[in-house]
Structure 1
Amino acid sequence: MISDEYRYKILKLIEANPEISQRQIAKALGISLGKTNYCLKALMEKGLLKVKNFHNSQNKMAYLYKLTPSGIEEKANVTSRFLKAKIREYEILKIEIETLKEESINSLIK
């Protein structure tokens, strides 16, 4: 199972650059090449991505990734879910920061 965060980030990277390599995805996400491969395979099995081999001058055999119509729809859905999760995290952090500020002020007053 791929988290919404990785699903969102991978689909976003591929949409922006269909010729991106697995190594570039792994580096951009800060994950291993094996985990990247696992995530891409899972997205392909769900029908969200198509992959095609192509030849280019720099790399004898490379891949071209393309979001399927289902992939485009899933990217929109996962973007919404990911945004809601980040907003929740932000709200929790805001409360925590305010609490720490109050504790800091109170300890200075004492």
Structure 2
Amino acid sequence: MPSTIEQQLEPEVIQKLLHTIETASPTLNQRTLAQELCCSLGRVNYILNALIEKGLVKANNFHKSQDKLKYRYLLTPEGAKEKLRLTRQLVERKRMEYEELCRQLEQAEDKQDTLF
């Protein structure tokens, strides 16, 4: 059984979810998160529960709200560290992808030059 969250879930989705929680309004709900992440409500619920279980996100229900099922999602200090780590990892992966695409483009241009 995988031991880290990123082995169970896609790091890019987790990074985006953590970022959205950190920067969104306090009334952010799972449906809005699902729309922001372009994924299903069930998937967001699954990921959020995993992040809560890992201690990366904290869910507090609104005490003054009539609807006690509404939660406010907060990033824990551990969640902020994980977001930073995942962001660095994502930037590095994107940089490597960019460099590979540049190499492929250069090879295609060289091949085209030899044909004409």
TM-score higher than 0.5 here?
yes
Q: Does 1:19 align with 2:35?
A: no
Match of 1:20, SS?
coil
Pick from 15, 19, 24 the counterpart of residue 8 of structure 1: 15
| TM score, norm. by length of structure 2 | 0.80
For residues 42-81 of structure 1, the aligned pairs below 5 Å read: 42-54=50-62, 55=65, 60=67, 61-81=69-89
For 1:30 and 1:100, the matched residues in 2 are separated by 34
Structure 1 position 73, deviation (Å): 1.2
| TM score, norm. by length of structure 1 | 0.84
Identity over the aligned pairs, expressed in percent? 38
Match of 2:4 in 1: none
Match of 1:40 in 2: 48
Match of 2:73, SS?
strand
For 2:33 and 2:103, the matched residues in 1 are separated by 34
Structure 1 position 101, deviation (Å): 2.6
Structure 1 position 49, deviation (Å): 0.3
The one-letter amino acid paired with 2:19 is: K
Match of 2:3 in 1: none
Structure 1 position 99, deviation (Å): 2.1
Match of 1:51, SS?
strand
Q: Which runs of 5+ in 2 are unaligned?
A: 1-7
For 2:39 and 2:112, the matched residues in 1 are separated by 37
Distance 1:50 1:102, change over 3 A: same
Structure 1 position 3, deviation (Å): 1.7
The one-letter amino acid paired with 1:19 is: T
How many residue pairs get aligned? The number is 105
Pick from 96, 99, 105 the counterpart of residue 91 of structure 1: 99
Q: Does 1:28 align with 2:33?
A: no
